[in-house]
Amino acid sequence: MEQSIRRLTLEDFPFLEAMETGIEDDYVKRIFERLVTTENNRLYGLFLDNQLTSVCGYTIFADCYAMIGRIRSDIRFRGQALATQLTIYVRDEAFKLPRIQWVGANTQEENEAARRVLEKTGFRECSTLYSATTQDLSKLESNGVPWQEIYGLDQKKSWIYKLYIQTGKVFPYECYYPFPASKDLFSEDKLAEWSFYENETRTRVLITKKDFKKYHYLHAIYPWNDLMEQDGLWETISKNYKNLSSETEEKTYIWMDLTKDQVQSFPEEHAFELPSPWMLYGVWRKENTNYLHDNKENIPLSQ
């Protein structure tokens, strides 16, 4: 059978509908038009003769990060490493854009098949984070005084530089989309849009921002393990959440990206939902070039 890979267009929707993926009510079908027509999205397909067997794409964030996703395989063609071939192809297509400096993907820890695919692409594990959500913080509050909001752009930049840019630590840029930090991830417009709160001693900071992924979210970011030791932290998050809920008048949640150590610090009666944690994999442009040089004879990049 003749194998080919190409970028998908609106006219390819019937091929997608003919795939047997085993996924009921697949959201990729619902947003297919956006994935193939908007500037920051790309979607590719691997065909055998005239049959679409695998789908994979990427979305661009902050103009220089590309997150791979929407990986789908026809169950009738599994076991042939087609998804791996397509993912490698998509990775290299993303790096053909000169501005892209990092390419990666996010998958749940329990999805061992997807993790194997990502490891075969040369991606390295960057972080493991729970996407913790709740609508109730009452079990964590302790009548503390909410923290003081800071508004100065220089103050915000100082915290971001210290915690993320200087360390390269993974930053939860959006719900579902964390990235290893660089200065390119933090535009002045974004910093002005996000809210920053300092504790009384100015030794801790909480960052909150609004997000929408099917539901409204207050995305709260706190990178230390002492979640249960900081007076006023949960009261600050709760106050922000209540304000956002009143503003949206729709179903709204709190979202926090938490490490396993942070989750272990919670009391048993906490109300966070904790599905299988998400594992971020990725590679910087320089690392990718080295990987291709070392493995160019061993991995099929395209057909």
Could you give the CA distance from residue 235 to residue 286 in angstroms, rounded to a whole number?
43
Contact 186, 223 (CB under 8 A): no
**Residue 298, CA distances (Å) to 1, 79, 84, 120, 121 in order:** 22, 18, 13, 11, 11
Q: How confident is the model at residue 170 (pLDDT cuts 50, 70, 90)?
A: very high
Structure tokens given for 256: 């926090």
Tokens 């998958």 locate to 107
Q: Does pTM top 0.75 for this prediction?
A: yes
* Pairwise CA distance, residues 47 & 28, whole Å: 18
Residues 122 and 288 sit within 8 Å (Cβ to Cβ): yes
- pLDDT of 155 > 60? The answer is yes
Mean pLDDT of 235-261: 97
Q: How confident is the model at residue 301 (pLDDT cuts 50, 70, 90)?
A: very low
Query: How many other C-beta atoms are found inside a 10 Å radius of the C-beta of residue 38?
Result: 12
Per the listing, tokens 């979305």 go with 59
**What's the chain look like in SS3?**
CCEEEEECCHHHHHHHHHCCCCCCCCHHHHCHHHHHHCCCEEEEEEEECCEEEEEEEEEEECCCEEEEEEEEECHHHCCCCHHHHHHHHHHHHHHCCCCCCEEEEEEECCCHHHHHHHHHCCCEEEEEEEEEEECCCCCCCCCCCCCEEECCHHHHHHHHHHHHHCCCCEEEEECCEEEECCHHHCCHHHHHHCEEEECCCCCCEEEEEEEEECEEEEEEECCCCCCCCCCCHHHHHHHHHHHHHHHHCCCEEEEEEECHHHHHCCCCCCCCECCCCEEEEEEEHHHHHHHHHHHCCCCCCCC
In whole angstroms, what is the distance from residue 88 CA to residue 64 CA? 18
**How confident is residue 298, by pLDDT bands cut at 50, 70 and 90?**
very low
Query: Both tokens of residue 303?
Result: 């057909």
What domains sit in the chain, N to C, each tagged with a CATH number? Answer: 3-126+282-295 (3.40.630.30), 136-270 (3.40.630)
Does residue 197 carry a pLDDT above 90?
yes
Diameter of the chain by CA atoms? 67
pLDDT bucket at 1, cuts 50 / 70 / 90 = confident
Q: Tens digit of pLDDT for each residue in 255-274?
A: 999 999 999 999 999 999 99
Query: What pLDDT, on a 0 to 100 scale, did the predictor assign at position 289?
Result: 63
